[in-house]
């Protein structure tokens, strides 16, 4: 069922606006002419705190809430701190949902992660694959929290008639990414490793075999999809957001090395986990509604590397 277009002066609270996803959504909304955006950094409002979250939403008086706030990280961070990934994300989501309902906010979009799907789900992964099999053990706690968020969205729709929706983006990258090797995802970690190795004349060591296949979506494309879905999607079932194309981690490494200008040796540590063998989302539902991404992978990596050089390196 379609919704009405968002008014350009609608007050939109972007929870997590300082992160990779939230900052892209903020940027994308500004570029589309939205003039009343609200957000606080985690140092200003701790969304794990129920009262602080409720107070923030009351102060914001939003027409729309976009939930991009989350504790996120790569395989290493998820595997070593599962309690934090479970508890922090459950608290953030629950607090925001409770506060939004209390403030009578009828438009809300919750952003999850493609890790919610079973490790061995049929490829490409349809939305209906949710809860049909075992999760990838290395990020199970994070996935469970996100599944709880999707369930909460359905529950608020069912019990209170809220027009809230959830969307599941694939692996994201772009300006504002996290390049800390201890907590980053695979693509920014590669950019950092290849950059440092080129500068220091070192060999790059990467985890696993390089054989898993992954799909990558630029955050600016996700930002465009967020606005599109808020205006045109209204259903219980979550909806996938991706490109519909994937490549091997080894192919990704080769592309990143070319962009960075690294021509040295790459060594694969096969004693480290590969994670899910393949994770490609079925995006036919979203594409059928009329939305498709615009940023191709190699130019997207190049612009992300430029941002890294200007802001991090």
Q: What is the pLDDT of residues 108-147, one digit of tens each?
A: 999 999 999 999 999 999 999 999 999 988 889 999 999 9
Annotation-wise, does 193 bind a ligand?
Answer: yes
Q: What is the pLDDT of residue 20?
A: 93
In sequence order, what are the residues at sequence separation of 6 or more whose Cβ sits closer than 8 angstroms to the Cβ of residue 139? Answer: 75, 78, 79, 85, 115, 275
Q: What is the mean pLDDT of each run of 10 residues along the chain (313 residues)?
A: 81 96 96 97 96 98 97 77 94 98 98 93 97 92 97 98 97 93 88 97 95 97 97 97 97 98 96 87 97 98 98 92
Rounded to an integer, what distance in angstroms lies between the CA atom of residue 95 and that of residue 209? 40
Annotation-wise, does 214 bind a ligand?
Answer: yes
Q: Is the peptide bond before 195 cis (omega within 30 degrees of 0)?
A: no
Annotation-wise, does 185 bind a ligand?
Answer: yes
Annotation-wise, does 20 bind a ligand?
Answer: yes
Annotation-wise, does 111 bind a ligand?
Answer: yes
Rounded to an integer, what distance in angstroms lies between the CA atom of residue 241 and that of residue 167? 7
**Residue of 310, 34, 105 whose CA lies nearest to 26:** 34
Task: Determine the angle formed by the axes of helices 249-260 and 186-200, rounding to 10 degrees.
Answer: 40
Rounded to an integer, what distance in angstroms lies between the CA atom of residue 82 and that of residue 70? 14
- Measured between alpha carbons, how far apart are the two ends of the chain, in Å? 46
Catalytic residue, from 142, 156, 173, 305: name it. Answer: 142
Q: What is the pLDDT of residues 216-257, one digit of tens each?
A: 999 999 999 999 999 999 999 999 999 999 999 999 999 999
Q: What is the pLDDT of residue 273?
A: 85
In sequence order, what are the residues at sequence separation of 6 or more whose Cβ sits closer than 8 angstroms to the Cβ of residue 138? Answer: 75, 78, 79, 273, 275
Q: Residue 142 catalytic? A: yes
Rounded to an integer, what distance in angstroms lies between the CA atom of residue 244 and that of residue 216? 9
Q: What is the pLDDT of residue 161?
A: 97
Class of 11-177+215-245+279-296 in CATH: alpha beta
Output the furthest CA–CA distance in the chain (Å, rounded): 60
Instruction: Give the count of beta carbons closer than 10 Å to the beta carbon of residue 104.
Output: 8
Q: What is the pLDDT of residue 36?
A: 98
Rounded to an integer, what distance in angstroms lies between the CA atom of residue 271 and that of residue 253? 18
Domain extent listing, the chain: 11-177+215-245+279-296
- Which single residue is written with the structure tokens 């350009």? 8
Q: Is 311 exposed, middle or buried (0-12, 13-18, 19+ CB in 10 A)?
A: exposed
Rounded to an integer, what distance in angstroms lies between the CA atom of residue 113 and that of residue 144? 11
Annotation-wise, does 184 bind a ligand?
Answer: no
Cβ atoms of 112 and 170 closer than 8 Å? no
Cβ atoms of 233 and 285 closer than 8 Å? no
Three-state DSSP class for 88? helix
Helical segments of the chain, H only? 20-31, 50-60, 75-80, 82-102, 140-160, 186-200, 219-232, 249-260, 284-289, 297-311
């Amino acid at each position: 069922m379609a919704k009405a277009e968002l008014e350009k002066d609608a007050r939109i609270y972007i929870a997590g606006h300082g992160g990779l996803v939230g900052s892209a959504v903020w940027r994308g909304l500004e570029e589309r002419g939205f003039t009343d955006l609200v957000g606080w950094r985690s140092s200003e409002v701790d969304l794990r705190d129920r009262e602080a979250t409720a107070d923030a939403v009351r102060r914001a008086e939003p027409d729309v809430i976009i939930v991009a706030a989350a504790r996120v990280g790569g395989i290493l961070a998820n595997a070593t701190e599962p309690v934090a990934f479970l508890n922090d994300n459950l608290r953030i989501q629950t607090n925001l949902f409770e506060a939004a309902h209390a403030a009578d906010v009828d438009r809300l979009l919750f952003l999850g992660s493609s890790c919610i799907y079973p490790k061995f789900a049929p490829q490409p992964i349809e939305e209906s694959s949710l809860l049909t099999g075992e999760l990838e053990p290395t990020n199970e706690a994070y996935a469970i929290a996100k599944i709880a968020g999707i369930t909460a969205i359905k529950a608020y729709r069912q019990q209170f008639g809220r027009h809230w929706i959830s969307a599941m983006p694939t692996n994201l990258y772009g300006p504002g990414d996290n390049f800390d090797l201890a907590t980053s995802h695979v693509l920014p970690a590669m950019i950092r490793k290849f950059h440092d190795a080129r500068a220091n004349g070192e060999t790059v060591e990467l985890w696993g075999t390089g054989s898993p296949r992954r799909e990558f979506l630029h955050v600016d494309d996700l930002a465009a999809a967020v606005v599109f879905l808020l205006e045109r999607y209204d259903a219980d079932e979550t909806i996938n957001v991706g490109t519909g194309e994937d490549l091997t981690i080894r192919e990704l490494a080769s592309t990143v090395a070319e962009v960075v200008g690294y021509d040295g040796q790459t060594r694969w540590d096969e004693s480290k986990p590969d994670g899910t063998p393949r994770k490609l989302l079925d995006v036919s539902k979203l594409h059928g509604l009329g939305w498709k991404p615009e940023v191709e992978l190699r130019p997207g990596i190049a612009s992300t590397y430029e941002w890294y050089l200007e802001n991090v390196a």
